[in-house]
Amino acid sequence: MLLQRTLTALLLAPLVILIILFAPAGVFATVAAVAFLAAWWEWTQLSGLKSASWRITSLVVGAIVFALLWCARTTALTPLMLAAGVAWWLLACLWLRNFAFGAAPTRENLALKLVAGVFVIFPAWVAIVSIHERVPHGHGWTLFALLIVWAADIGAYFSGRAFGKRKLAPQISPGKTWAGAYGAMVAGVLVTTIGGWLLDVRGAQLLGLALLAVVTVSISIVGDLIESLMKRHAQVKDSGTLFPGHGGLMDRMDSVFAALPVFAAGLLLLGL
């Protein structure tokens, strides 16, 4: 499984990096919207929405929302969306403490999970588009944001395997450990310090960026756990089968969806 996951990542990562670094803003936003809509499709399935017609309708509505958000990206709506995304992931921490909440397959819980999905998907898209359009180094900052999450995932995997004994959330994701979380923090801060230096961040701002990395990685772990909770409720192993060894898009992007609004909001606060 590790070999399969590694090969899949090695094939996908160069394509993602090329799109981030060289695609014009409109093309990048469109590609991101398509990927995020695919993740939304998986989220609707995890939520318990079984009607194909309603799921397709939700995709059309989602595409329209993305178009409207693109048109309004230079307005005050962008920081509001980032704030909504950050607020949602803080609220999600309470859901993890009450993991059985929303588990029953009722209409009310379906509606609740669909609303939650709106706050997962759309603020993250606004965040990644706003980072990509930053001046200067917008493309670099976008790649940097993803590298923090990727590094955290790798750090969590290897530190968890080597030192993991105490479980982080055994009822939600038995494989995750506190050692893995600490490894994720170390890897995320290390990549942030190096990346920030390469992007000409110095002094107090570099320290602030390192602290932002700690918060970003922490929230990325929450995003991972929320998706695990959704899969537990839906009684499935993966959100999809799109990527061999990796599952679906939600399985690969859960941490990214959580990290992006926090990272984008942090850059605004730091003046970067």
3-state class (DSSP) for residue 176? strand
- Euclidean distance between CA atoms 174 and 85, whole angstroms: 27
**What pLDDT shows up at residue 113?**
96
Residues 6+ apart with CB under 8 A from 44: 55, 58, 114, 117
Instruction: Please name the helix (run of DSSP H) or strand (run of DSSP E) that holds residue 139, with its range, or none.
Output: helix 138-163
Q: Which residues of the chain have pLDDT under 70?
A: 1-10, 241-246
**135-173 pLDDT, tens per residue?**
888 999 999 999 999 999 999 989 998 898 899 998 898
Per the structure, the count of domains in the chain is 1
Positive or negative, the CA dihedral 18, 19, 24, 25 is negative
236 close to 227: Cβ distance less than 8 angstroms: no
**What pLDDT shows up at residue 141?**
94
Is this structure's pTM higher than 0.85?
yes
In terms of residue numbers, what domain contains 261? 2-270
- Could you tell me the two tokens for 17? 């990096």
20 HSE (CA, 13 A, CB side): 22
- Euclidean distance between CA atoms 87 and 73, whole angstroms: 20
